[in-house]
A = this chain, B = another copy of it.
């Protein structure tokens, strides 16, 4: 069910709706998404299996204060990764592991904010077993609450607990994700379903690991998951963009290919030449959208800066005889893709680009 190319500009009615939305943005209650807004699939989905499990985790001792007032000192598990999966009937293709970005969860890849099919289901319908994770320290993967309870009990100073970053609708999402140049004002050609921006807002989940960690337990968990799957493609987004590089340095055995969708960084200058030689063994596809030079209205690099970092990374990998495809979809004539391209109106067209690349690079 590959779709024909979508038109690359959006209907005027959507832009008008977005402007009407913009005029009310910031006041009143969220537009409640009705169940009826969801557009059902045209054909049944036949699954060989589905379910969920955890990867990794370590048992640790915690005091009564740390686990909360229910009981005495006890043992808990931390750093486990929640994984939900669907395996299609007659799966003929390599498994794909999907990892979301900052202050989001695995919901990123499911039903879009405006009720269309997400990449989770679409990749399954295209024959791939798909494994969607919640990053460790977030959503269903849980987190170690100990430091928060120690702060609450005044055992340690307040600044020992991590700051909990949360996407704001106007700057964290709208301008940063390049829906438009100003909060509530879309780019005329935006592919993001801006009339459903309030639904994206509902997906925001703070990252409870904090951001100061030296090593990230997600790196090893992804490497382990790929091994358990006996080979998988790691498809990552934004914050998780560079994770597979670290996973591959830990153990690349299970990692058949890497797809980086608008990585927050490619860490072009971080790795040693030996590490680059290791990374050059795995084919990579790095994908950006449109309007990369837009002002995000936030501190930190622009998306153009991030693209250029990935370009520098590609040059190092190329020099080590590796195989990196780096693409801004706007350069192919497909205009208006946002940072959240798995939710964009043409999300299945973008998926088809990725599926074709996987077909080419990974043997069945």
- Listed in ascending order, the chain A residues whose CB lies under 8 Å from chain B are 25-30, 32-38, 40-41, 44-59, 61-62, 67-77, 80, 82, 84, 89, 105-107, 110-111, 115, 117-118, 121, 134, 139-140, 142-143, 145, 148-149, 151-154, 158-159, 161-172, 176, 198-199, 201-206, 224, 228-229, 297-299
Contact = CB atoms under 8 A, between A and B. Distances in A.
B70 A168 contact: yes
Contacts of A199: 53-54
Contacts of A27: 59
Contacts of A171: 70-72, 74
7 contacts: A33-B55, A41-B48, A47-B47, A68-B166, A74-B169, A75-B168, A152-B158
A161 B148 contact: yes
A152 B142 contact: no
Interface centre among A106, A202, A224 (most CB of B within 10 A): A202
A328 to B, nearest CB: 24
A26 B58 CA distance: 11
B165 A75 contact: no
A57 B77 contact: no
Given A61-B26, A77-B30, A206-B68, A164 B139 contact: no
Given A165-B69, A201-B77, A298-B71, A33 B47 contact: no
Question: In the assembly, how many copies of this chain are there?
Answer: 2
Nearest to A118: B51
Contacts of A46: 44-47
Contacts of A52: 107, 110-111
Contacts of A50: 45, 121
B139 A202 contact: no
A75 B140 contact: no
A219 B45 CA distance: 32
A165 B51 contact: no
A18 B212 CA distance: 39
Given A70-B176, A106-B140, A152-B158, 14 more contacts: A29-B59, A30-B56, A30-B59, A33-B53, A67-B165, A67-B167, A76-B166, A76-B169, A77-B202, A105-B139, A142-B204, A142-B206, A148-B148, A151-B152
